Amino acid sequence: MTIRSSVPVSRRAFVLAGAALSLAPGLAAAPLRADDTRALRLVAARGRASLVGGAHPETAVWAYNGTVPGPEIRLRQGGRLRVVVENKLDEETTVHWHGLRVPNAMDGVPHLTQKPIAPGASFTYEFDVPDAGTYWYHPHQRSFEQVGRGLYGPLIVEEREPIAVDRDVTWVLDDWRLLADAQISDDFGNMMDASHNGRVGNTVTINGRIRETFDVRSGERIRLRLINAANARTFALDFNGHAPQVIALDGQPVEPHAPADGRIVLGAAMRVDLVVDMTGKPGARFTVRDTFYRGLEYQLLDIVYGAEPLRGQPPEGPIALAPNTMPEPDLKAAERHEVAFGGGMMGGMMTAMMGGRRMDMRGLMQNGMAWTVNGVAAKGHVHDPFLTLARGRTCVLALHNDTAWHHPIHLHGHSFRVIRRNGAPTRYREWQDTVLLNPRERAEIAFVADNPGDWMFHCHILEHQAAGMMGVIRVA
């Protein structure tokens, strides 16, 4: 897979070019605890963040409550979340609670589920949270730019009975396209990104800054919650020298297992919860690498062991999480639909429908479109549903990626089981809300359509979504 971008892709570009970086960890904002009496406040506004650190200037960003990522919101499973979102940007916005099964009116999709929040205005989101897990929040209005400039944050729903670990750590991964002065390149929404890999950047941050090290102690057991908040980049992390166990995907518990090929793969918007036992010796150092794009591998950071062990060896307690509350799909009674994803460069797509008219690729590109769902390139958020599902029915969607590119495909309002890939049953029948389709891959997903409303179904490479790769599924 090649990456086309106007700047070379290397996280270390700044490190290599610049003076010594400060190794002090960035100060993370204290988590916002949601309890039942008080509404949290999220203010979306321009701000500045020290993404690169060291002698480099701060980066002008758009941020929630002045930090990138926005504050970590934490609440208990079964709790109720109330958030007042104030828009201090110069343009409309919304907040989408990615992966949470919320009522349709709280889903944050402009015009489809709510009027966007005007500059200077605010909107209160309020809903019950049925499932534990690792989620995140982000705007859904011009998200390719709003998320790309730093508007996103983690949302952690704690289990009623959590597993025992020494530390619960969140890493929000992001990928920025920075210029030499550490400012964000403002070439958002260009057709080159839109019709290829999306906006893959040149600087990877963890919790809003370039990290050199992650300090651990021998014998420690860490729950590591990975969230991919990048517009487009897929990560494939190799925890060299360690044997992480995957315990949840997209927030949903999965039978604990070692990842395939030893690599943790996260497409845009996806989450993976790991249990990582720190089995190295005091003073040891291991490099975590991201090896997803061939020829563009880089070192994410080093795991650095302190001189003092925490204990002789990591604990052996159970790491399986209690199941969440999604209804089990009834495959025998399922209705089945095919969904084909098309378009992009080298995909062989000749024509597609846009706004009720058939157009060739050139005409589509002139309209900023490059991708389709079932032959239709969708502009904006409001469309007649391409599927209407009876409420309570099990639905199997057979997804075909008819393109030469990866696509993380996200369904709003539901989690689904991934039951087959390229015809073969999946080993863990994992629950996800975003399924990463490899080029030309087929996957079958199954879910009970139990949440009424109009729900987006789209690629979470935000440039692909904006360039047509989305549709609406109605549950009625």
Residues of the shown chain interacting with ligand C2O in the complex, contacts defined by CB under 6 A? 96, 98, 138, 140, 269, 410, 412, 456, 458, 460
Q: How far is the CB of 464 from ligand C2O (least distance, A)?
A: 12
What CA–CA distance (Å, rounded) separates 359 from 379? 14
Q: How many residues in the shown chain lie near Cu ion by CB under 5 A?
A: 4
Q: How far is the CB of 459 from Cu ion (least distance, A)?
A: 3
Q: How far is the CB of 232 from ligand C2O (least distance, A)?
A: 13
Residue range at the interface with Cu ion (CB under 5 A); choices 2-10, 23-31, 401-409, 421-429: 401-409
Assigned token pair, 357: 């008219």
Residue closer to ligand C2O (CB basis): 211 or 458: 458
What CA–CA distance (Å, rounded) separates 47 from 54? 19
Indicate if the alpha-carbon torsion angle 198, 250, 431, 474 is positive or negative.
Answer: negative
Binding-site partner at residue 461 among ligand C2O, Cu ion, none, CB < 5 to 8 Å by type: Cu ion
Q: How far is the CB of 91 from Cu ion (least distance, A)?
A: 24
Residue 276 is a binding residue for Cu ion (CB under 5 A): no
273, 247 Cβ separation under 8 angstroms: yes
What CA–CA distance (Å, rounded) separates 472 from 397? 14
Residue closer to Cu ion (CB basis): 242 or 407: 407
Residue closer to ligand C2O (CB basis): 239 or 457: 457
Binding-site partner at residue 458 among ligand C2O, Cu ion, none, CB < 5 to 8 Å by type: ligand C2O
Amino acid found at 428: Y
Residue closer to ligand C2O (CB basis): 11 or 140: 140
* Shortest-Cβ-distance residue relative to ligand C2O: 98
Binding-site partner at residue 407 among ligand C2O, Cu ion, none, CB < 5 to 8 Å by type: Cu ion
What CA–CA distance (Å, rounded) separates 394 from 445? 10
Binding-site partner at residue 149 among ligand C2O, Cu ion, none, CB < 5 to 8 Å by type: none
Residue closer to Cu ion (CB basis): 76 or 379: 379
Residue closer to Cu ion (CB basis): 64 or 293: 293
Name the DSSP letter for residue 465: H
Binding-site partner at residue 96 among ligand C2O, Cu ion, none, CB < 5 to 8 Å by type: ligand C2O
Residue range at the interface with Cu ion (CB under 5 A); choices 228-236, 291-299, 405-413, 441-449: 405-413
Residues of span 431-460 touching Cu ion by CB under 5 A: 459
Hey, is 195 helix, strand or coil? Answer: helix
What CA–CA distance (Å, rounded) separates 434 from 427? 17
Residue closer to ligand C2O (CB basis): 221 or 410: 410
223, 167 Cβ separation under 8 angstroms: yes
Residue 464 is a binding residue for Cu ion (CB under 5 A): yes
Hey, is 335 helix, strand or coil? Answer: strand
Residue closer to ligand C2O (CB basis): 109 or 352: 109
* Residue located via tokens 């979102």: 85
Residue 461 is a binding residue for Cu ion (CB under 5 A): yes
**Cα–Cα–Cα angle for 198, 18, 296, rounded to 5 degrees:** 35
Q: Which of 327, 451, 339, 435 is nearest to 389 (CA)?
A: 451
463, 189 Cβ separation under 8 angstroms: yes
Binding-site partner at residue 117 among Cu ion, ligand C2O, none, CB < 5 to 8 Å by type: none
Q: State the DSSP H helix or E strand holding residue 13, giving kind and residue range, or none if neither.
A: helix 13-17
Binding-site partner at residue 209 among ligand C2O, Cu ion, none, CB < 5 to 8 Å by type: none
Residue range at the interface with Cu ion (CB under 5 A); choices 118-126, 142-150, 158-166, 406-414: 406-414
In the list 177, 196, 271, 407, the residue contacting Cu ion (rule: CB under 5 A) is 407
What CA–CA distance (Å, rounded) separates 206 from 298? 14
Binding-site partner at residue 98 among ligand C2O, Cu ion, none, CB < 5 to 8 Å by type: ligand C2O
What CA–CA distance (Å, rounded) separates 209 from 396? 40
33, 75 Cβ separation under 8 angstroms: yes
Binding-site partner at residue 233 among Cu ion, ligand C2O, none, CB < 5 to 8 Å by type: none
Hey, is 270 helix, strand or coil? Answer: coil
What CA–CA distance (Å, rounded) separates 316 from 358? 60
What CA–CA distance (Å, rounded) separates 410 from 394? 18
Q: State the DSSP H helix or E strand holding residue 135, giving kind and residue range, or none if neither.
A: strand 133-138
Binding-site partner at residue 412 among Cu ion, ligand C2O, none, CB < 5 to 8 Å by type: ligand C2O
* Dihedral in degrees, nearest 10, Cα atoms 324, 77, 166, 261: 30
Residue closer to ligand C2O (CB basis): 56 or 149: 149
Enumerate binding residues for Cu ion (CB under 5 A). 407, 459, 461, 464
